[in-house]
Amino acid sequence: MVRVPLTEDERDRGERLGRLLREARGERSMASVAAQAGISVETLRKIETGRIPTPAFFTIVALGSTLGLSLDGLVSAVDTPAPRPPAPRVA
């Protein structure tokens, strides 16, 4: 087994990431956001729905830039399953 399949936790994490990105998109259409980020609409949809649990780094960078998100804040939010993060610790 040279490349282990993704675990459930990793897929859950991908779903949380997608949910946050979808929230950040707000009223904007998928087409405009995808075009501005330089990805296809289908890819954006799969990321938002969690069907791409571990997207490429620069894909999330482009999406974060398009949506005005801080990467560090995004990661903190993903690492916090509860919708009410009290104090995101980096360590």
Partner DNA sequence: AACTATACCGGTATTAGTATCACGGATATG
Partner DNA sequence: CATATCCGTGATACTAATACCGGTATAGTT
Interface contacts to a second copy, rule CB under 8 A: 10, 13, 17, 54-61, 65, 70-72, 75, 90
Q: Which of 35, 36, 45, 69 binds DNA (CB under 7 A)?
A: 45
Q: Which of 12, 16, 30, 36 binds DNA (CB under 7 A)?
A: 30
Q: Which distant-in-sequence residues (6+ apart) come within 8 Å of 66 by Cβ?
A: 33, 36, 37
17 binds DNA (CB under 7 A): no
**CA of residue 52 relative to chain centroid, distance:** 9
How many angstroms separate the first and last alpha carbons of the chain?
A: 32
Binder of residue 71, out of a second copy, DNA, none (CB less than 5 to 8 A by kind): a second copy
Angle of helix 8-25 versus helix 57-67 axis, rounded to 10: 30
Report if residue 43 touches DNA, rule: CB under 7 A: yes
Alpha-carbon span 8 to 88, nearest angstrom: 23
* Residues at the contact surface with DNA, assessed by CB under 7 A: 1-6, 14, 29-31, 38-43, 45-49, 51-56, 59
